[in-house]
Structure 1
């Protein structure tokens, strides 16, 4: 009789284990006609979230790829600024001076934003190397410092133009 109870216990545990393992897989994908989030499946499921996130990621990747080729504003470009020229930014451009001594050019009393130090740099003041510089409005820029014999190497994100002094 003890052998029968043991066998029955093993069978019951085995069936319970099989049902416990099979039930989640049956709910997840055995009925492809049910749309997650629909009236037939009102609970927000993992598959619904995965589907929505995948769509958003694809849209963002397409937007980023389009932004690089269409707007020219997302790609970082390395620009060489020769002595005697200004690198003038468009609205929202970002610069990082990588080599050389740069100074700010601004036609008015406002300067440019040094996001690394959290300060404004006004016209004629030096721009620290390796600092992220933001140009909230266009028409401002950088130029090689007076007395410098070599140009600048600047990483630029956004639209810009090189102008002669």
Structure 2
């Protein structure tokens, strides 16, 4: 009889604990509870609403039409060096440059080139080369640069030229400053 009473008491206590636990199921505030998205504590908003609130905070009122950024329309700066060849320097725009055999396209520090057509080789006045960001390797002076590869020029004085023996022009997309020699 004692075993039966112990079993009955344990079943009753277990049922009572489950019942009380389900009744008093309350999450403590600040004890790791996260807010649900879309509630008043954590509302879901649209980009246009955020843009309007920023405009209000800046004192510009509410903008009803979205504005799109436009590229600067400044023409390229040109200069006439002492050797008579025109040098073009374009900053922060993408320019398509056609390089004839015998010419060198020299990059300013931070410029990026992509050879679109033709065969080009790296030109560098020192032992260091150019970073090929597409392949993740350095290309040394005189080595061929692959078409459609993003080339980064960390310092002035490095560039590309048409591969020796080719009679075709080299077409290059350039972002940053450059000069043709």
**TM-score, structure 2 normalization:** 0.56
Whole-Å separation in 2 of the counterparts to 1:107 and 1:53: 51
Deviation at 1:70, TM superposition (A): 7.7
**TM-score, structure 1 normalization:** 0.60
Whole-Å separation in 2 of the counterparts to 1:135 and 1:70: 23
RMSD: 3.0
Unmatched 5+ residue regions in structure 2?
1-41, 59-65, 77-89
Whole-Å separation in 1 of the counterparts to 2:75 and 2:118: 31
Whole-Å separation in 2 of the counterparts to 1:88 and 1:101: 16
Deviation at 1:86, TM superposition (A): 0.2
Whole-Å separation in 1 of the counterparts to 2:113 and 2:55: 33
Unmatched 5+ residue regions in structure 1?
1-42
* 1:90-123, Cα deviation, whole Å (9 max, x unpaired): 1111111111110000001111110100111010
Q: Which structure is larger by alpha-carbon Rg, 1 or 2?
A: 2
Where do 4+ consecutive residues of structure 1 move more than 3 Å? Answer: 43-48
Deviation at 1:65, TM superposition (A): 3.0
Q: Which residue of 2 aligns with 1:125?
A: 143
Deviation at 1:159, TM superposition (A): 1.1
